[in-house]
A = this chain, B = another copy of it.
Amino acid sequence: MSTRDLIVLGSASAVPTRTRNHNGYLLRWDGQGLLFDPGEGTQRQMSFAGLAATDITWLCVTHFHGDHCLGVPGIVQRIARDRVPHPVHAVYPAGGAVYWDRLRHATIFHDTADVREQPVSGELAVLDTGSLPFGLVARRLSHPVEAYGYRLVEPDGVTMLPERLAEHGIAGPLVGRLQREGSVVAPDGATVGLAECSEPRPGQKAAFVMDTRLCPAVFELADKADLLVIESTFLDADAALAAEYGHLTAGQAGRVAAEAGVRTLVLTHISERYQTADEPEFVRQAAAVFDGEIVLAHDLDRIGLPPRRRTPP
């Protein structure tokens, strides 16, 4: 299962609209499913998207405002009801543990959900991803309540080149040894380095940033991300409101993408004050400073990761 994409389950900010449900984003990554910020109604949005509770392996909450977490009880209860056979890892700000506990145990149900909690604290938290082929970190953002953004990083690797291996007669267990040790003595007696028989395979990175003002952590989370999902609650004309409530504008989101060297930028968490006719302006304001791919999220969008980079950024 090598699917890597983002399914948008909701894209509103504090107030849902006729076209935008509260937040909810499933990042599918080679059989793992990271559900970010399930707002109220995410359970049903998942059915509309053809997704099931069993598609979820991680549940990451940025903060405990309702539009980012009121879907947690429904999701946990579906995990139990649908007998999801694997554990689900739950990540959330430690300072909001009291809210997590209320949501986790919100109503009466037959609680067989295997939810493994990893509350995060401090400026930077490195999650335990066990043997998974990616790392996950959380960084503290700047919002009126304790909020964290998330960054998933696949380590850089190499792609072996069969024709180069054949030139040196390297085959069988010797290939694995070359990968592990960096060089081997080939059957022809020559010492062959890994670089001669492979090319770099840059790891992919995805970042999920909301809710926040501009702050250094935003740029660190977004750094060289192949996919950046970021709140742009307001248009630039409402920058004063964004500052007051601790949010970003579309132009600021574009600036982050540009300075951080992002490839695909997903704008979301759109305020209910805007109409459908305003939507192109979000893209225009981000595009004024960022020349990569820009997607203004709509509910049930499926956004693929861009093809893997050929060389490290």
Contacts and interface: CB of A to CB of B under 8 A. Distances in A.
Given A17-B47, A18-B47, A47-B16, A107 B40 contact: no
Contacts of A41: 40-41, 44
User: Interface size for chain A: under 10, 10 to 19, 20 to 34, or 35 or more residues?
Assistant: 35 or more
Interface of A: 14-18, 21-22, 40-41, 43-44, 47-48, 63-66, 69-71, 73-74, 77-78, 81, 96, 99, 102-103, 105-109, 145
18 contacts: A14-B81, A16-B43, A16-B44, A22-B44, A40-B40, A40-B73, A41-B41, A63-B108, A66-B73, A66-B74, A69-B107, A70-B74, A70-B106, A70-B107, A96-B108, A102-B102, A102-B103, A102-B105
Copies in the complex: 2
A71 B40 contact: yes
Contacts of A44: 16, 21-22, 40-41
A182 to B, nearest CB: 51
A103 B107 contact: yes
Contacts of A73: 40, 66, 70
A305 to B, nearest CB: 28
A70 B99 CA distance: 14
Nearest to A103: B106
Given A40-B44, A96-B108, A108-B145, 15 more contacts: A15-B78, A15-B81, A16-B43, A16-B44, A40-B41, A40-B43, A65-B107, A66-B73, A66-B77, A69-B107, A70-B73, A70-B107, A99-B106, A103-B106, A106-B106
